[in-house]
Amino acid sequence: MQENNSQYNRYSNQVYDADELHPQKPSDNKKKKKDIWGYVLVSGISILLTASIFLVYIFSDFSKVLNQSFVELQNSSYEKNDIDVEVADEESEAALEKFNVVKDLLFENYYIELTYPEIIEAMTTGMLENLGSPYTYYLSPEDVAEMEESMSGVYSGIGATVEKVDTYFQV
């Protein structure tokens, strides 16, 4: 009797000899799926990097434009001398016209040569002082820096300040 060295694979309907070695090949479907996910991952990372570089470039240019505009505004000589505001009634229009006339008279005729920022700061200070409120006042940038410096440090106590107003002390 002759020995049968073949094996039957019922899943593929093929017969294999026991002496032959037939390695299984990986399925093409699985290999394609792995390759597709690799491409998707690489593409996604590339898109994210490109978008972030683009956004950084755009916002850095935007901030440069804002800084340049701010510097130009600070260094400008205020070519536009009148303050233009749309007003709803004649009384407001007359008050605005009075404001512009006083500002121009100060600029042209005051005994000390003033710049428009100095005039606007003086008007702002005067406007707030004439409101009559002890809690409303204007602090110049120098005053703010001085106040922040005086308030820096370590504090203890109830947080009240005492200041001399005319001839009496106020808490």
Which tens digits make up the pLDDT trace of 82-134?
A: 566 666 778 888 888 888 888 888 878 888 888 888 888 888 888 888 888 88
Condensed to tens digits (0 to 9), the pLDDT of residues 151-171 reads 877 767 777 888 888 888 888
Q: Which residues pair with 165 in a beta bridge?
A: 168
Angle between helix axes 90-109 and 116-129 (nearest 10 degrees) is 130
Alpha carbons 94 and 102: distance in angstroms, whole number: 12
Cα distance between residue 30 and residue 121, in whole Å: 75
Q: Per residue in 1-60, pLDDT tens?
A: 445 555 555 555 565 555 555 545 555 556 666 678 778 888 999 999 999 888 877 777
Residue 28: the pLDDT is 57
146: Cα within 13 Å, side-chain hemisphere: 5
The confidence score (pLDDT) of residue 30 equals 60
Is the pLDDT assigned to residue 61 strictly greater than 80? Answer: no
At residue 1, the pLDDT reads: 46
Instruction: Between 65 and 127, name the one with better pLDDT.
Output: 127
3-state class percentages of the chain: helix first, strand second, coil last, to nearest 5: 55, 10, 35
